[in-house]
């Protein structure tokens, strides 16, 4: 009796693997040689940057290695032998997407397409000593996201990631040959069918390496790359069936054709080779100065001013600070919101005295409004890092003032203590300027559900109180400022400054700046002079270290009021660090502010911040808030067909010379986190 024998070499032996490893070794050696070549190529200057996004097509050959065993092929057919191990070649083809900034070692790529894992098992001798063969055809839709790592920034890269495969083909063919001892016996028909107990989805992994070889000339914007690659898909997770031990490992050899579009750059070598006097040596910037004629108007401003719903307390004290206006009971009858200048704080400081008088009367405004609205209730929440009882004591101080002086029924006032306000200035993990932030978090918050007390269209425990309206004289308005425009400065310069020379040759220097538009009051240049002729020189530093100068003559006149004119002003205030909180003012801006803007009018929107944080961050934050406000107002005006309004938008950040308030108190910093809207008639 003859024993069953295996006809083919056992897979996994050195003989079986060597045909696969020879091309892999050749590919890796070629990649290492090309690293040096491509490193030199990529280091040369190009008219276009390497594209960050690339798209293309990947194709390759899968060398599939079967391990384990399979026996029961379908619910209706089980051959007399068990098949072990095998191998085969399959096709892989898939679209390719990739993101890889040239300046970074890291990137991301995705391939999703057709993946074939077919193969033939080792031949087995059946009990009749007939050779038995089994082939399987497994096909998947595969999704393969990978993290790309470019260790040398040279084109050679490594990648690794998961593989999600969805099975859509699982056929088999079983062939039973003729016993060599009986060559004349009739052949046995092949058995074809669909394998049972298949896993519809497989989750596995892959690791590999590739190499980007540029095919396009460096002067081309659309760039093409040829990228050979090799990857290994281990057997982990790659079990085609839910029964038996059959698993598949794969080595994939392939290539990708990629396409991408680069961004145009200027070559430093070209600039250095040009003649000194050639215009091409200078970056493409445009310098202009706008010095308005004297605004011949005494601009009276009808200002709608928000009343912050916070009362700030000094460290270690639960008494209301004496900078707030505290009335005697016999003064209540004479208190009026439109005559607040009668009740001034003891130690008023800051630039906007009129506005701070409004705020420091916050408790009197609240008491007066509660008296006029006898059904309005309020909540007072004291926040203190020294403990909840300390915060409650602060809230009780405010309650006692309202009940003792204004006669408010104590049952209408609810108090509570907390360790931190609901929206604290000190954020978790913060390490900078903690003393100032904690000073702001020691406060009592006032909230009411009665609309008569709160700002229009606002709700919630941190909403401002209803605004106060008053008329005030405006100092030199923004539309009287001198504006210096350097179009293209952000791309061309690391920074730029101004040198302004008067008729006597005296030079004043301003800057350095990084933004493209800078405005300043004419008085900062003119001083005590009423007018003058100047030469303004923009001095820019390019990213390559070169100095670029451009000059413009300018006539300036000091702003002096004469004829009466009245504008309107609205202000919005923000919590610390918020940029998108402007959305809570959407309805207020659309239904209160926008209808007040006349046709052919001008709207000047300027954002400000406190002095906490970096100057650059504050500048960007103030401009972002101002632009958000502009967008909401513009949308509202478009709906009413009021399209003839001129907008001017500024972000001043923490600029102390233009800031509405000083930053030496918590309330001053809170009011500096503002966007101011000036509405000027034609």
Q: What is the pLDDT of residues 440-483, one digit of tens each?
A: 999 999 998 888 888 776 666 667 788 887 776 555 555 567 78
pLDDT tier at 341 (50, 70, 90 boundaries)?
Answer: low
Predicted pLDDT of residue 566 = 64
**Domain of 415: which CATH number?**
3.30.1330.60
Predicted pLDDT at 377: 92
- Distance from C-alpha of 27 to C-alpha of 213, rounded to nearest angstrom: 13
- Tell which wins on pLDDT, 567 or 627: 627
Q: Is residue 387 part of a domain?
A: yes
Measured distance CA(400)–CA(419) in Å, rounded: 21
446/500 same-domain check: no
Whichever domain contains 538, its CATH number is: 2.60.40.10
In a domain, 277, yes or no: no
CA distances in angstroms from 421 to 317, 326, 440, 441, listed in the order given: 17, 24, 10, 6
With 50 as the cut, is the pLDDT of residue 22 above it? no
Indicate if 179 and 42 belong to the same structural domain. Answer: yes
DSSP-H helix ranges across 486-545: 489-492, 523-526
Co-location of 202 and 82 in the same domain: yes
Q: Are residues 414 and 506 in the same domain?
A: no
The whole-angstrom separation of Cα 45 and Cα 43 is: 6
Most confident of 131-140, 335-344, 635-644: 131-140
pLDDT in the model for residue 79: 93
Contact 376, 414 (CB under 8 A): no
**For residue 196, what pLDDT is reported?**
94
User: 201 and 343 share a domain?
Assistant: no
Please identify, among 529, 557, 585, the residue that sits at the C-terminal boundary of a domain.
Answer: 557
521, pLDDT greater than 90: no
Verify that 223 and 328 share a domain, yes or no. Answer: no
Q: Same structural domain for residues 151 and 253?
A: yes
187-196, 518-527, 584-593: which range is least confident on average? 518-527
Average pLDDT of every residue of the chain: 81
Q: Is the pLDDT reported for residue 530 higher than 60? A: yes
Q: Give the count of alpha carbons within 13 A of 424, CB side only.
A: 20
- The answer to the question of residue 275 being in a domain is no
pLDDT tens track for 345-369: 555 544 566 778 888 889 999 999 9
> Which helix (DSSP H) or strand (DSSP E) does residue 440 occupy?
helix 434-440
| pLDDT of the residue at 580 | 52
**Per mean pLDDT, which range of 42-51, 58-67, 200-209, 271-280 is the poorest?**
271-280
Residue 190, in any domain of the structure: yes
**CA separation for the pair 248, 217 (Å, rounded):** 42
* C-alpha triplet 493, 494, 496: angle, nearest 5°: 70
Q: What integer pLDDT is reported at residue 384 of this predicted model?
A: 94
Percent of the chain topping pLDDT 90: 36
pLDDT tier, 567 (very low <50, low <70, confident <90, very high otherwise): confident
Three-point CA angle 371, 443, 657, nearest 5°:
100
Question: What's the pLDDT tens digit per position in 580-627?
Answer: 556 678 888 888 889 989 888 889 999 999 988 888 888 888 888 999
Other Cβ atoms less than 10 A from the Cβ of 251: the count is 20
Q: What is the dihedral of CA 76, 77, 83, 89, to 10 degrees?
A: -80
Q: Residue 522's pLDDT is what?
A: 72
- Given 466, 498, 514, the domain boundary residue is 466
What local confidence, expressed as pLDDT, does residue 394 receive?
A: 96
The set of residues, in sequence order, having a beta carbon less than 8 Å from that of 186 and lying 6+ positions away, is none
Do 548 and 573 sit in the same domain of this protein? no
Give the pair of three-digit tokens for residue 238. 């790659």
User: Average pLDDT, stretch 68-90?
Assistant: 93
Does residue 210 fall inside a structural domain? yes
Position 115 pLDDT exceeds 50: yes
Query: Does residue 201 fall inside a structural domain?
Result: yes
- Each residue's pLDDT tens digit, 492-504: 888 888 888 888 8
Task: Tell me the pTM.
Answer: 0.47
Confidence of residue 416 (pLDDT cuts 50, 70, 90): very high
**Sequence-ordered list of residues with C-beta below 8 angstroms from that of 210, at least 6 positions apart, any chain:** 156, 157, 159, 227, 228, 229, 230, 256
Q: Is the pLDDT of residue 659 over 90?
A: no
Same domain, 571 and 489: no
> Could you tell me which of 127, 131, 136 has the C-alpha nearest to residue 68?
136
Strands 602-608, 646-651: pairing kind: parallel
pLDDT value for 53: 92
More confident residue, 234 or 432: 234
- Residues 458, 550 within the same domain: no
pLDDT at 342 over 60: no
Give the residue-averaged pLDDT of 14-38.
44
- Number of folded domains that form the chain: 4
* Predicted pLDDT of residue 379: 93
Has residue 660 been placed in a domain? yes
Each residue's pLDDT tens digit, 262-286 = 876 544 444 444 444 444 455 677 8
Mean per-residue pLDDT for 676-682?
85
Lowest-confidence range among 111-115, 290-294, 357-361, 581-585? Answer: 290-294
Residue 516 domain boundaries: 286-295+478-557
7 within 8 A of 131, measured Cβ to Cβ: yes
Determine if the peptide bond prior to 512 is cis (ω within 30°): yes
CA dihedral 56→57→63→68, nearest 10 degrees, is: 90
If asked whether residues 676 and 537 sit together in one domain, one would say no
**Range from 26-30, 159-163, 614-618 carrying the lowest mean pLDDT:** 26-30
Which of 20-29, 132-141, 568-577 is the most confident on average? 132-141
Question: Are 124 and 83 in contact, with CB atoms under 8 Å apart?
Answer: yes
Residue 6 lies in a domain: no
Boundary residue ending a domain (557, 592, 611): 557
Task: Note whether 137 and 199 are same-domain residues.
Answer: yes
pLDDT at 157: 94
């Amino acid at each position: 009796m003859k024993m069953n024998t295996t006809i083919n070499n056992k897979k996994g032996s050195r003989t079986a693997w060597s045909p696969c490893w020879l091309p892999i070794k050749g590919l890796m050696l070629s990649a290492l040689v090309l690293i040096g070549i491509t490193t030199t190529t990529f280091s040369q200057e190009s008219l276009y940057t390497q594209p960050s996004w690339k798209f293309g097509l990947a194709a390759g050959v899968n060398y599939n290695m079967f391990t384990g065993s399979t026996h029961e092929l379908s619910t209706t057919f089980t051959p007399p032998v068990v098949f072990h191990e095998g191998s085969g070649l399959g096709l892989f083809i898939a679209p390719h997407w990739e993101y890889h900034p040239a300046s970074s070692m890291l990137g991301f790529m995705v391939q999703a397409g057709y993946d074939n894992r077919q193969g033939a098992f080792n031949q087995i001798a059946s009990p009749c000593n007939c050779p038995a063969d089994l082939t399987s055809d497994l096909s998947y839709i595969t999704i393969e996201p990978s993290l790309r790592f470019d260790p040398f920034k040279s084109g050679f890269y490594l990648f690794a990631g998961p593989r999600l495969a969805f099975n859509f083909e699982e056929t088999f063919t079983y062939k039973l040959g003729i016993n060599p001892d009986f060559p004349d016996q009739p052949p046995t028909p092949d058995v074809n069918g669909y394998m049972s107990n298949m896993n519809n989805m497989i989750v596995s992994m892959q690791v590999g390496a590739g190499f980007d070889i540029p095919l396009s000339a460096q002067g081309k914007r659309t760039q093409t790359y040829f990228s050979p690659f090799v990857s290994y898909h281990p057997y982990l997770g790659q079990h085609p069936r839910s029964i038996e031990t059959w698993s598949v490992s794969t080595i994939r050899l392939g290539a990708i054709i990629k396409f991408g579009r680069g961004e145009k750059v200027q070559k430093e070598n070209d600039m250095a080779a040009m003649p000194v006097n050639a215009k091409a040596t200078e970056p493409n910037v445009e310098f202009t100065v706008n010095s308005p004629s004297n605004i011949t108007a005494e601009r009276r401003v009808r200002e709608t001013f928000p009343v912050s719903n916070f009362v700030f307390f000094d460290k270690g004290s639960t008494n209301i600070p004496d900078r707030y206006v505290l009335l005697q009971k016999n003064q209540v009858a004479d208190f009026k919101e439109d005559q607040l200048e009668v009740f001034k704080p003891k130690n008023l400081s800051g630039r906007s005295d009129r506005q701070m008088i409004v705020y420091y009367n916050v408790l009197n405004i609240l008491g007066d409004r509660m008296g006029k609205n006898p059904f309005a209730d309020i909540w007072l929440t004291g926040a203190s890092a020294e403990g909840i009882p300390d915060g409650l004591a602060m809230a009780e101080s405010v309650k006692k003032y309202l009940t003792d002086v204004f006669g408010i029924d104590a049952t209408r006032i609810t108090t509570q203590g907390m360790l931190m306000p609901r929206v604290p200035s000190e954020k978790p993990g913060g390490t900078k300027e903690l003393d100032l932030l904690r000073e702001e978090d020691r406060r009592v918050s006032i909230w009411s559900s009665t609309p008569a007390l709160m700002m229009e269209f606002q709700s919630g425990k941190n909403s401002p109180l209803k605004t106060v309206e008053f008329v005030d004289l405006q100092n030199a308005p923004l539309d009287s400022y001198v504006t210096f425009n350097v179009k293209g400065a952000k791309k061309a310069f690391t920074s730029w400054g101004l040198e302004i020379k008067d008729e006597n040759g005296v030079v004043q220097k301003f800057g350095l700046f990084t933004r493209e538009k800078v405005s300043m009051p004419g008085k900062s240049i003119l001083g005590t002079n009423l007018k003058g002729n100047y030469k303004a020189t923009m001095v820019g530093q390019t990213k390559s270290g070169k100095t670029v100068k451009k000059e413009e003559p300018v006539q300036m006149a000091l702003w002096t009021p004469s004829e009466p004119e009245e504008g309107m002003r609205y202000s919005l205030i923000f919590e610390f660090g918020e940029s998108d909180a402007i959305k809570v003012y959407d309805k207020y801006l659309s239904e209160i502010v926008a209808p007040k803007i006349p046709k052919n009018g001008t709207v000047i929107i300027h954002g400000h911040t406190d002095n906490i944080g970096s100057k650059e961050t504050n500048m960007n934050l103030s401009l972002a808030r101002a632009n958000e406000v502009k967008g909401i107002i513009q949308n509202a005006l478009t709906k009413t067909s009021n399209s003839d309004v001129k907008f001017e938008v500024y972000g001043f950040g923490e600029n102390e010379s233009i800031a509405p308030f000083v930053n030496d108190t918590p309330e001053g910093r809170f009011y500096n986190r503002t966007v101011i809207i000036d509405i000027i008639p034609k």
